[in-house]
Amino acid sequence: MIRDILRDADTVAIVGLVRLMLGGPISIAAGFVAWIFGWWFQGARVGADSFFTAQGVVTGLAAGAVAAFFWWNTETPSKIQWIYAGTVLAVGVASPIIVMQFAEIDTYNTLIGPSRRVAVIVKGDLISTMIFSSAIAANVVAAGLGLYRMFRHREI
């Protein structure tokens, strides 16, 4: 009797909304913390391309792990749970790297010495682009997979 009540579409919508409302902001926060730690450990020892890739991986792993955790469903078979978690992590890692290839990040040139120009990247624009893209993409994929299991297989 109680299981039937919990399986209503309203309950699925409420559960999905709560998971999204908690998972989204917390995955953004986790991505920010991961960005800071990744930047702190990397420093200026690497080139720009490897810096973007490493920061994208670190940010995507953190945001994807939080999204996978919030959409983890204990009623789903464990093999499918791990496939879903791996998919969410892969999307969380790939999305900031892909978005960085197409996004226009604020850059400008500065002079070092009398005539040497050096490109400068505004990290505030970079950080928001990477964190939001990884958190949004991971949560959208996790929500899609989770809602599919909720509606199709009646698992909450």
DSSP 36-67: HHHHHHHTTSS-HHHHHHHHHHHHHHHHHHHH
* pLDDT value for 113: 61
At residue 5, does pLDDT exceed 60? no
Q: Which two tokens stand for residue 16?
A: 């999905």
* pLDDT value for 116: 65
Q: Does 38 or 122 have the greater pLDDT score? A: 38
Q: What is the pLDDT of residues 30-71, one digit of tens each?
A: 999 998 887 777 655 666 667 778 888 999 999 999 999 999
Q: What is the pLDDT of residues 84-108, one digit of tens each?
A: 999 999 999 999 988 887 876 655 6
Please state, in angstroms and rounded to a whole number, the distance separating the CA atoms of residues 61 and 63. 6
Please state, in angstroms and rounded to a whole number, the distance separating the CA atoms of residues 122 and 127. 9
Q: Does 33 or 5 have the greater pLDDT score? A: 33
* pLDDT value for 46: 60
Instruction: Work out the percent of the chain whose per-residue pLDDT is above 90.
Output: 40
Instruction: Work out the percent of the chain whose per-residue pLDDT is above 70.
Output: 76
Q: How far is CA 1 from the centre of its chain?
A: 38
Please state, in angstroms and rounded to a whole number, the distance separating the CA atoms of residues 77 and 139. 20
Indicate the average pLDDT of the chain: 82
Reduced to 3 states (helix: H, G, I; strand: E, B; else coil), residue 117 is: strand
Among 12-21, 31-40, 120-129, name the one with the lowest average pLDDT.
120-129
Q: Which two tokens stand for residue 125?
A: 């624009």
* pLDDT value for 115: 62
* pLDDT value for 28: 93
Please state, in angstroms and rounded to a whole number, the distance separating the CA atoms of residues 134 and 26. 12
What number of other Cβ atoms are within 10 A of residue 71's Cβ? Answer: 27
* pLDDT value for 48: 64
At residue 76, does pLDDT exceed 70? yes
